[in-house]
Amino acid sequence: MSEQLRAVEWTGDGLSLIDQTLLPHRLERMHVTDVDTLVDAVRRLVVRGAPAIGVAGAYGVVIALRQAGRAGWDRAELLAAVSRIREARPTAVNLAVCVDRVLPLLDRGADAVLAEARAIHREDEQANRDMGGHGADWLLKRLPADRPLRLLTHCNAGALATAGWGTALGVIRELHARGRVELVHVDETRPLLQGSRLTAWELAHDGIPHRVQADGAAAGTILRGEVDAAIVGADRIAANGDTANKVGTVAVALACAHAGVPFLVAAPTTTVDTATATGAGIPIELRGEDEVLEWDGRRMAPEGSRGHNPAFDVTPGELVTALVTERGVLEVAAGELPGDRLV
Ligand code: MRU
């Protein structure tokens, strides 16, 4: 499935996005030809995952240019629309990085921007494939060679979250292709269930054995010795290796550190923000309270209760055993810092 699964596609007159809010029950695409619809789609997580929103953002600049032509926007209006795309979600640095990469081509017109957006799209998929190989090689050198591996992942860092193939799931897919996966523990990923709805869906389609568990079960599973390695994606990695990823990730990393289990982060170098020194400088998206107070549209918490809904947390770099990028593997906990190695 991962061969054909394209979360983001350019169709000639706009963006075609898999509507990830409908999965796994319905596989439907949404067609986007204007900036408001794109910004709303990013905010509602129709398209999600750091690399995927980066690619969508780059194509979004083409959409903005074409809309400017149709609506007669002046330059200030065009730039304001581009800023709204760039700032649709704050934590994943890929969105700003990809928009900023196409921005210098604005004056050369939509075709020049489109060519660069297509290049970003191709490069991201290639980066995923490359990090899959690096991550699998690294793990197989360090983990038991006499049996397939039991892995754990949190959120969805698969084909749906990228240009294709996946970061953390790319490593898992590569290990599976080499016949080395016994089981993937899939954290359900509260409150929007990216694990049980999206990761389990991708693994099921690829025939990779997996088991969905509540987020709160992950630490116990790790401490009982049922996990050989945890591998997750990232939304932004600071120069010192501090890593923002889906809320709940830091609990997985802490349990891994306590149990002596490798905790891997797989992400393209577009996710590494060497201008941000530490995790304290990473903006964390706070989402609406209803996402945690309600279940399937029905209020669960008492009417008077307030909610707290940070979409991400920051795992300290010293808990990141290894960072897998398309350029290779950095052993962050052992002192190989992204800020020194990836500039
Ligand atoms: O809120 P989401 O679903 O966009 O959060 C996604 C994650 O946290 C992913 O792990 C991260 O973006 C990496 S995707 C390759």
Q: Per residue in 274-294, pLDDT tens?
A: 999 999 999 999 999 999 999
Average pLDDT, stretch 322-332?
98
Q: Any binding-site annotation on 244?
A: no
Flag whether pLDDT at 31 surpasses 90: yes
Contacts of 3 (CB under 8 A, 6+ apart): none
End-to-end distance of the chain based on CA atoms, in angstroms? 35
The rounded Å distance from CA 125 to ligand 1 centre is 16
Flag whether pLDDT at 1 surpasses 60: no
Residues annotated as part of the active site = 235
Flag whether pLDDT at 77 surpasses 60: yes
Three-state secondary structure string covering 243-254: EEEECCHHHHHH
Our answer on whether the CB atom of 157 is closer than 6 Å to any ligand 1 atom is yes
Flag whether pLDDT at 334 surpasses 90: yes
Task: Respond yes or no on whether ipTM tops 0.85.
Answer: yes
Our answer on whether the CB atom of 56 is closer than 6 Å to any ligand 1 atom is no
Q: What is the mean pLDDT of the chain?
A: 97
Our answer on whether the CB atom of 233 is closer than 6 Å to any ligand 1 atom is yes
Our answer on whether the CB atom of 197 is closer than 6 Å to any ligand 1 atom is no
> What residues form DSSP beta bridges with 310?
286
Q: Any binding-site annotation on 246?
A: yes
Q: Any binding-site annotation on 194?
A: yes
Pocket test for ligand 1, best of 192, 246, 313 (most atoms within 8 A of CB): 246
Nearest to 234 by CA among 99, 92, 44: 92
Which residue has a Cα nearest atom 6 of ligand 1?
49
Flag whether pLDDT at 2 surpasses 50: no
44-72 as b/e: b if 16+ CB within 10 A = ebbbbbbbbbbbbbbbbbbbbbbbbeeee
Per-residue pLDDT band for 261 (boundaries 50, 70, 90) equals: very high
Per-residue pLDDT band for 343 (boundaries 50, 70, 90) equals: confident
Domains of the chain and CATH, by start = 8-124 (1.20.120.420), 130-341 (3.40.50.10470)
| Alpha-carbon gap, residue 202 to 216, rounded angstroms | 22
Flag whether pLDDT at 18 surpasses 80: yes
Our answer on whether the CB atom of 51 is closer than 6 Å to any ligand 1 atom is yes
Percent over 90 (pLDDT), the chain: 96
Per-residue pLDDT band for 145 (boundaries 50, 70, 90) equals: confident
pTM of this prediction exceeds 0.95: yes
Contacts of 137 (CB under 8 A, 6+ apart): none
Pocket test for ligand 1, best of 188, 235, 269 (most atoms within 8 A of CB): 235
Average pLDDT, stretch 313-336?
98
Per-residue pLDDT band for 4 (boundaries 50, 70, 90) equals: low
- Per-residue pLDDT at 294: 97
pLDDT per residue over 100-118, tens digit each? 999 999 999 999 999 999 9
Atom of ligand 1 at shortest range from CA of 166: 15
Percent over 70 (pLDDT), the chain: 99
Nearest to 234 by CA among 193, 205, 263: 263
